[in-house]
Chains A and B, each alone.
Chain A
Amino acid sequence: MTKKILILLFILIPIKANALIEVDITRGNLNPLPLAVSPLSIDEESRKDFEKILKKENIGSEISNIVENNLRTSGLFNPLDKKAFLQAPDIANLKPRFEDWNLIKAQALITGKANYVDDKLRVEFRLWDVLAAKEMMALAFTTVPNNWRRVGHIISDKVYERLTGEKGYFDTRIIYVSEEGPKTQRIKKLAIMDQDGANNKFLTLGNELVLTPRFNPASQMVTYLSYFKNMPRVYLLDIETGTQEVVGDFPGMTFAPRFSPDGKKIIMSFAKDGKSDIYTMDLENRIVEKITNHPSIDTSPSYSPDGKYITFNSDRSGYQQIYVMKNDGSDVKRISFGNGLYGTPVWSPRGDLIAFTKLHKGKFYIGVMRTDGSGERLLTENYYQEAPSWSPNGRVLIFYRETKTNSKGEGFSAKLWSIDLTGYNERQIKTPTDASDPSWSSLLSN
């Protein structure tokens, strides 16, 4: 009881002290901020134009729905039911009647307008602090009509940033592996979708097994593992052009690829004679460097955001554990010392944490620890889950989860899930097929 009251106080005090609304995202948010997303107002002529071009009856409402959905799934905001709104969208955008919005307990209000101008979609929006009766932000965008979903994501990012003080993660995409068929013969394809599941597209046909796709920092290229011609090798794919190439000329299996933070190198494992070591390849001059040299399995490498360090997992101690080393392979230090096995370390884009998968007493956990291994925190426990990937602002982790089959070996599924760094707000991300190995892009509009 006292705990609940304390949390309430913490959230309330900063709001009062700063006059303008502020959402604290560093702790689990049990009281999402109530806010009203008024549909973008649209004149009848523009509405008809967009209906013709985009086959959407009211693009203003559609864009607002995207904003509303994004803010709700963040777990930090509670968008109120539109039926309760007292003020019409067009008038609200000019000058909200704050008493009306106060009455339905909205603390923030988003209003806006969509127009069809010179074959373009023009959107303006405003964020209002209802209690202070003040405009917090006003912005306008012009883009091709087909970009309407992205406009919704960009508005969501701007609102999130204004209210939390941190960059958003809505104008982003997820690359993942789509899975179909029986567990013993899964058909796997590379697939890409917007962060909210829209615009799903398959990038490979499923003729060969593909695994572990990861974006480069510009989110234009993907590195992944393909069993093309039954030779497991790391590949590079240009999403726009569709061109693919093998990375390096290794006499055996290369796997577990990731880009360096500047996008110039790929770091990966190469397995030979029962040993797996970590290598990098420079994408410009094709120079290959061996980073670790140990008879154990060294894999799942991930760079720190400044590129100076690498975290990876190794069984050199006898069991799978997490290590950190300098980017030249020197100064190797084990950082995981808890009970169980540790794998798939991924450095947070903020630099302060490493997310991992832990296997302990038959359960799988997704957790985070500081980069020296201290402060281990387990966020979620399940029968099987692994491969966390960070949202670009380092606040959310996406991963995949597999179900236990029944006594006949039936009932297998693999799905994408996300959870906040706080351990709250766990959600399944809907995909058209089963899914695994998600990788989150950086913000596209930066």
Chain B
Amino acid sequence: MRLNKILKNTLLILTACLVLSACATKKEVATDIQGQMQGDVYTGTDTVEYLADGVPDRVFFATNESILTTASRETLRAQAGWLRKNPNINVVLEGHADERGTREYNLALGERRANAAKDYLMTYGISSDRITVLSYGKERPVDSGSNPLAWSKNRRSVTVKAN
């Protein structure tokens, strides 16, 4: 009886281990495919360029959204710091959408995204005179793929030096 119980327990432990390890590998695979996205917001660095050391040039958005994520706000604070240090530089905020929307709505959505970034820069002391907003809608994707990862890279607002 006791032996039986011990055996049962070891079996249980064994299965538990198996389940856990299975989970771990599964998660790893998932992060490999999706590791560059959180929800459907792009979190990778593939397409990101830098305005200066530690100052990424772009922020990313969820489908149909223009809300700034925590990471986006961090990026924009770095941009605001850089803009304060370089008072002669003006910027264009280029807003973009992915290909999964109608052209005209996407133009408006790109404007709304770039504007969300502009508003945030302004709250960190950057004058609106130094910022121009320009929407490209779905016209200028960075990734020509037709998959969720490509779309997430394309939903963006990019800060570009204007002078």
Which A residues have a C-beta under 8 Å from some C-beta of B? 182-186, 209, 211-212, 225, 230, 232, 252-253, 255-256, 269, 271, 273-276, 297, 299-300, 313, 315, 319-320, 341, 343-344, 357, 359, 362, 383-384, 386-387, 402, 404-405, 407, 409-410, 412, 437
Residue pair A319, B107 in contact (C-beta under 8 Å) = no
Q: Are B104 and A269 in contact (CB under 8 A)?
A: yes
Considering the chains assembled together, what is the distance between the CA atoms of A256 and B107 in angstroms?
9
Shortest CB distance A308–B (Å): 23
Quick check: A230 and B134 within 8 Å, CB to CB?
yes
Contact A186 B139 (CB under 8 A): yes
Inter-chain contacts of A185 with B (CB < 8 A):
140
Q: A405 touching B102 by the CB < 8 A rule?
A: no
Contact A300 B105 (CB under 8 A): yes
Task: Tell me whether B81 is interfacial, beta carbon within 8 Å.
Answer: no
The answer on a CB contact under 8 Å between B146 and A405 is: yes
Q: Does the CB pair B133–A404 fall under 8 Å?
A: no
Known contacts A274-B112, A297-B112, A402-B99; A313 and B144 CB within 8 A of each other:
no
Contacts of B103 in A (CB 8 A): 211-212, 386-387, 437
B141 to chain A, nearest CB (A): 6
CB distance A255 to B107 under 8 Å? yes
Inter-subunit contact B144/A182 (CB<8 Å)? yes
Closest 10 pairs (CB-CB, A-B): A274-B115, A409-B144, A343-B102, A183-B144, A276-B108, A271-B111, A297-B108, A404-B146, A256-B104, A274-B112
What does the 1/0 interface line of B106-148 toward A look like (CB < 8 Å)?
0111011001100100000000000001110001111111110
Q: Kindly state whether residue B37 has any CB partner on chain A within 8 Å.
A: no
Q: Would B112 and A299 count as touching, CB distance under 8 A?
A: no
Is the pair A253, B99 in contact by a Cβ cutoff of 8 Å? Answer: no
Supply 17 A–B pairs (Cβ within 8 Å), ascending by A.
A182-B144, A183-B141, A184-B143, A225-B107, A232-B134, A255-B104, A256-B104, A269-B108, A274-B115, A299-B107, A315-B64, A315-B105, A343-B101, A344-B104, A359-B101, A409-B146, A409-B150
In the complex, the chain B residue whose C-beta lies closest to that of A274 is B115
Nearest chain B CB to A267 CB, angstrom units: 12
Q: A273-B115, A405-B145, A409-B143 are in contact. Are A299 and B135 (CB under 8 A)?
A: no
Contacts A212-B103, A252-B111, A315-B64 known; 10 new A-B pairs at CB < 8 A: A184-B140, A255-B104, A256-B104, A273-B115, A299-B105, A315-B105, A344-B104, A362-B100, A405-B144, A410-B144
Shortest distance in angstroms between A285's beta carbon and chain B's nearest beta carbon? 27
Assess whether B115 is in contact with A320, with CB atoms less than 8 Å apart. no
The number of chain B residues with a CB under 8 A from chain A is 30
Closest to B92 in A: A230
- Asked whether B144 lies within 8 Å of A412 as measured between CB atoms, the reply is yes
The interface residues of chain A lying within 8 Å CB-to-CB of B109 are 297
The reply to whether B135 and A232 form a contact with Cβ atoms under 8 Å apart is yes
Asked whether B79 is an interface residue with its Cβ less than 8 Å from the other chain, the reply is: no
CA distance A414 to B103 in the complex (A): 13
What is the CA–CA distance of A269 and B102 in the complex, to the nearest angstrom? 14
Bound together, the chains give a CA A343 to CA B104 distance in angstroms of: 9
| B108:A299 contact, CB within 8 angstroms | yes
- In whole angstroms, what is the CA distance A313 to B101 when docked? 13
What A residues does B135 contact at CB under 8 A?
A: 232, 253, 271
* B141, A212: Cβ atoms closer than 8 Å: no
What is the count of residue pairs linking A and B with beta-carbon distances less than 8 angstroms? 104
CB <8 Å contact, A320 and B139: no
Residues on the B chain within 8 Å of A402, using CB: 99
Instruction: Give the interface centre of B64, B146, B150 by most chain A CB atoms within 10 Å.
Output: B146
Chain B residues with CB under 8 A of A269: 104, 108
**Contact of A274 with B111 in the complex, beta carbons under 8 Å:** yes
In the bound complex, residues from chain A placing their C-beta under 8 Å from that of B99 are: 384, 402
B47 CB to nearest A CB, Å: 11
Looking at A230, A297, A362, which has the most chain B CB atoms within 10 Å of its CB?
A: A297
Check B66 for interface membership: any CB of A closer than 8 A: yes
B104 touches A253 (CB 8 A): no
| B105 surroundings in chain A (CB, below 8 A) | 297, 299-300, 313, 315, 320, 343
B-chain residues with CB within 8 Å of residue A299 when the two chains form the complex: 104-105, 107-108
Residues A253 and B111 in contact, CB atoms below 8 Å apart: yes
B111 adjacent to A212 (CB under 8 Å): no
Q: Which residues of B contact A383 (CB under 8 A)?
A: 146
The CA-CA distance from A153 to B133 in the complex, in Å, is: 47
Complex-state Cα separation, A315 to B64, whole angstroms: 10
A409 to B145, CA, bound (A): 4
In the complex, residue of chain B having the shortest beta-carbon distance to the beta carbon of A320: B105
Q: Is the CB of A359 within 8 A of B100?
A: yes
Closest A residue by C-beta to B145: A409
- Shortest CB-to-CB span from A196 to chain B, Å, is 26
Residues of A with C-beta under 8 A to B116: 274
Q: Chain B residues with Cβ under 8 A from A344's Cβ?
A: 102, 104
Please indicate the chain B residues that have their CB under 8 angstroms from the CB of A276 in the complex.
Answer: 108, 111-112
Determine which of B64, B115, B141 lies in contact with A184 in the assembled complex, contact meaning CB atoms within 8 Å.
B141
* B103, B111, B139 pick with most chain A CB within 10 angstroms: B103
**A232–B140 alpha-carbon span in the complex (Å):** 14
| A300-B144 contact, Cβ under 8 Å, with A274-B112, A276-B108, A319-B64 | no
